[in-house]
């Protein structure tokens, strides 16, 4: 399926993609957004307290604000449409998804990241049957039950804090010798009597019948069974760059960009957590999305192909 030529195709609709779309629309550029969902990682966030202008807002509320803003500009957002290929075709960029293809003068890749998996026996079998990757989304289903959170960084500790108000017991299973999240989050967690932190502990298997009922865990040479009804995997994220493209990536699979959000391919820009920008924060992703849209606008304005 081929459509009219757009000024910009934005891949992704998290903070970077939505901000890029709004900035592009304000420049009166024709654009289309293709994405798996709206909100990206923000949907998984619990309480957001570090975005300028909001002393406190939940992740879901924040996504609602994004959607309100993007609807003001009547931007065509295609959800549940993963991208499979991005390539340069002459002066244009061709974006192929599972549902169609789009030609545009520029592309902004803002596809974000996705949860890293444990890759242990039982993980795939019990996904959505006790194995979860979003405490905000799925935590309420575990009211009064025993759960485990795997990880020792900020995302794991924030998940444990959320679940401490829902579940009966929360085990934090950390593979290293100590948790590494921010001190303020650690202090909050230490006050939660329902939370038990187990350092030097590795999950080696997930068991159950129809739903999760236990974890096989290992501490040194000691193997144990931990009886829980759910496990929340919070061990980091990997960039959504599995689509085919000529884009240069770093060792982590992130797209390399310069200060103008330009990639190694003229006409293709990238923004947000999918790039090699050092800090991964909502406010930074939004700013990078704005920069990418302005760079795309300037690229089209100075290109001889569209004089």
Domain assignments of the chain as residue spans, ordered by start: 6-114+237-306, 131-233
Evaluate whether 6-114+237-306 and 131-233 have a shared fold.
yes
Domain 6-114+237-306 annotated CATH 3.50.50.60: yes
H/E stretch holding 284 reads: helix 282-302
Class of domain 131-233: alpha beta
Alpha-carbon distance of 169 to 229, in angstroms, equals: 10
φ/ψ of residue 155, rounded to 5: -65, -40
Q: Give residue 2's pLDDT.
A: 44
From 111, 169, 141, 137, select the one nearest 234 (Cα to Cα).
Answer: 137
State the pTM of this model: 0.79
pLDDT averages per 10-residue partition of the chain, 307 residues: 80 94 95 90 69 77 82 90 96 95 97 92 92 84 95 92 95 94 89 94 96 95 95 93 97 96 98 93 92 97 74
DSSP SS3 for 87: strand
Alpha-carbon distance of 301 to 307, in angstroms, equals: 8
- Going by the DSSP 8-state scheme, the letter that residue 41 receives in this structure is G
Beta strands in the chain (DSSP E): 6-11, 31-34, 47-48, 57-58, 76-78, 83-89, 92-97, 101-109, 113-115, 131-132, 146-150, 169-173, 195-198, 202-208, 212-219, 222-226, 230-233, 237-239, 268-270
Question: β-pairing, 212-219 with 222-226?
Answer: antiparallel
Alpha-carbon distance of 20 to 286, in angstroms, equals: 8
Question: β-pairing, 222-226 with 131-132?
Answer: unpaired
- What would the two tokens of residue 125 be? 């079998």
């Amino acid at each position: 399926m081929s459509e009219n030529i757009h000024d910009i195709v934005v891949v992704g609709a998290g903070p970077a993609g939505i901000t890029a779309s709004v900035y592009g629309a304000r420049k009166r550029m024709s654009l289309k957004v293709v994405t798996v969902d709206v909100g990206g990682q923000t949907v998984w966030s619990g309480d957001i307290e570090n975005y300028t202008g909001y002393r406190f807002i939940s992740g879901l509320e924040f996504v609602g604000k994004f959607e309100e803003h993007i609807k003001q500009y009547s931007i065509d957002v295609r959800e549940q449409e993963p991208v499979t290929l991005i390539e340069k075709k002459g002066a244009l960029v061709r974006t192929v998804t599972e549902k169609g293809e789009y030609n545009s003068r520029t592309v902004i890749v803002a596809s974000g990241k996705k949860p890293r998996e444990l890759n242990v026996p039982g993980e795939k079998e019990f996904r959505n049957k006790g194995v979860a990757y979003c405490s905000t989304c799925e935590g309420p289903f575990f009211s009064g039950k025993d759960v485990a959170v795997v990880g020792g960084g900020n995302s794991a500790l924030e998940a444990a804090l959320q679940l401490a108000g829902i579940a009966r017991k929360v085990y934090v299973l950390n593979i290293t010798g100590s948790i590494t999240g921010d001190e303020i989050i650690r202090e909050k967690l230490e006050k939660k009597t329902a939370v038990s932190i187990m350092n030097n502990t590795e999950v080696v298997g997930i068991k159950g019948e129809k739903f999760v009922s236990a974890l096989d865990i290992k501490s040194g040479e000691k193997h144990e069974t931990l009886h829980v009804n759910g496990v929340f995997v919070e061990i980091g994220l990997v960039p959504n760059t599995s689509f085919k493209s000529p884009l240069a990536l770093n060792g982590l699979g992130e797209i390399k960009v310069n200060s103008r959000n330009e990639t190694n391919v003229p006409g293709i820009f990238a923004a947000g957590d999918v790039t090699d920008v050092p800090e991964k924060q909502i406010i930074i992703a939004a700013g990078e999305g704005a920069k990418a849209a302005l760079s795309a606008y300037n690229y089209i304005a100075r290109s001889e192909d569209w004089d």
